[in-house]
Amino acid sequence: MKRFHRIRSRRGVVLVAVLWTIALLSALAMAASTSLRGFSGLLAIDRDRVQAEALIGAGIEVGADLLLKHGGRPLLPIETRFSLRSGEGRVRLSDELGRIDINKAPVETLASLLAGLGAADAETAARAIIAWRDPGGASMQKPAQKADSSEPRRFEPAFTNVDQLAQIPSMPPDHARLVAPFVTVFGEETVNAATAPPDVLRLLPQMNEARVERLMEARAAGRLEAGACEQILGPAARYAKPADHGVARIDIAVALADGFAAEAEAIIVALPKDSEPFRILAFRQSPRPSAYAGASSQRE
């Protein structure tokens, strides 16, 4: 009888061990399933990002092709679309020389820009930009002085992107946001009168609506020559001159077939007799997925 009880006791222990083993294996299986689902989700996200980056690269090539086809003509805003097996995209091309360069524009241009956008104390803010980009003073107006070895030397250009305006201690954050759509770091001392948008032209010193309208009419009629530009703009011609080349801004928005979307911008230039067809001066991709809806969503 005692032997029978011992056998039943052993069977009970074995049964409990088996049940615990089954429960443990079930838990491990569920955990593995959850991990695999999460891993497959991460793979899908990475795949979407890689495909979106490939489409953005294709968008840069499309924009470069548009730039090369312009030749010596003014680079006026243009938009086109492209489609590949993985998705589609939209490319907008404009001339970066049609913006005000915060590295090269004189103080009166920067003051006029800020005042035209409604910034308070525009003159002070403009001088703060000048002081930041040239801490030793206006180098073109003062003789060169021996540099103090105890102070860090600032190499040109002072600004490598327009977002750095917000780093100026005396510059209100609102001012930096206001000017961002109208400025660049890849331009010239003057804006390109042949491509600058009317909103930029209106912000230049000595400019008025009548001069802007006459300039736009002359541009629509044909190529704008320097002599004609001076006659149209009068004293404002000091701040807007036709340029013989262009620096292209490419705004790219892409969408995959599964709905994933992304945006990016690039600054490119095509130089004469260069070993490369074009060069990328700057590139920035939006860190967040875009809300861009391509033609595939429009067809639905």
Residue 33 has pLDDT above 70, yes or no: no
92 shares its domain with 127: no
For residue 158, being part of any structural domain is answered with yes
Residues 169 and 285 in one domain: no
Question: What pLDDT is attached to residue 297?
Answer: 43
Q: Which residue has the higher pLDDT, 72 or 250?
A: 250
Same domain membership, residue 158 and residue 282: no
Measured distance CA(137)–CA(73) in Å, rounded: 38
Q: Which spans in the chain are helix H?
A: 2-70, 107-116, 122-133, 173-179, 198-201, 209-221, 226-233, 295-299
Residues 254 and 176 in one domain: no
Give the domain-ending residue among 241, 258, 273: 241
Three-class SS state of 282: strand
Q: Are 95 and 178 in contact (CB under 8 A)?
A: no
Could you tell me what percent of the chain has a pLDDT over 90? 49
Full domain range(s) for residue 63: 57-98+245-299
What is the C-alpha to C-alpha distance for residues 76 and 27, in angstroms, rounded to an integer?
64
145-162: average pLDDT: 58
Instruction: Give the mean pLDDT of 187-191.
Output: 95
CB 207 within 8 A of CB 199: no
Evaluate whether residue 82 is within a structural domain.
yes
Residues 279 and 206 in one domain: no
Q: With bands split at pLDDT 50, 70 and 90, how would you rate the model's confidence at 170?
A: confident
Q: In this structure, is residue 18 part of a structural domain? A: no
H or E element in which residue 184 lies: strand 183-184
- Provide the H-helix boundaries in 180-208: 198-201
Q: Is residue 38 part of a domain?
A: no
Q: What is the mean pLDDT of residues 254-267?
A: 92
pLDDT tens profile 196-248: 999 999 999 999 999 999 999 999 887 677 688 889 999 999 999 998 888 99
Q: What is the pLDDT of residue 22?
A: 67
More confidently predicted of 169 and 19: 169
Residue that has been written with the tokens 């001088």 in this structure? 127
**Same-domain pairing of 253 and 233:** no
pLDDT tens, residue by residue, 35-61 = 545 444 444 557 888 899 999 999 999
Same domain flag for 265 and 287 = yes
β partners of residue 183: 100
Q: How many domains does the chain have?
A: 2
Is 88 part of any domain? yes
pLDDT band with cut points at 50, 70 and 90 for residue 286 = confident
How many whole angstroms separate alpha carbon 132 and alpha carbon 162?
Answer: 13
Instruction: Determine contact, residues 133/158, Cβ cutoff 8 Å.
Output: yes
Chain-centroid distance, C-alpha 45: 23
Q: Are residues 92 and 144 in the same domain?
A: no
Choose between 164 and 147: higher pLDDT: 164
From CA 104, how far away is CA 184, in angstroms rounded? 10
Q: Are strands 247-256 and 87-95 parallel, antiparallel or unpaired?
A: antiparallel
% of the chain surpassing 70 pLDDT:
73
C-alpha–C-alpha distance, residues 172 and 134, integer Å: 19
Residues 86 and 207 in one domain: no
pLDDT of 298 strictly over 50: no
User: Are residue 217 and residue 114 in the same domain, yes or no?
Assistant: yes
* Residue 227 falls inside a structural domain: yes
At 143 the pLDDT is: 38
Rounded CA gap, 61 and 39, in Å? 33
Q: Name the residue type at position 125.
A: A
Compute the mean pLDDT over every residue in the chain, rounded to the nearest whole number.
Answer: 81
Q: Are 223 and 75 in contact (CB under 8 A)?
A: no
9, part of any domain: no
Do residue 207 and residue 108 come from a single domain?
A: yes
pLDDT over 90 (residue 293): no
User: Does residue 162 surpass a pLDDT of 60?
Assistant: yes
Based on the fold, state whether residues 113 and 222 are members of the same structural domain. yes
| Residue of 251, 264, 259, 261 whose CA lies nearest to 289 | 261
Does some domain include residue 30? no
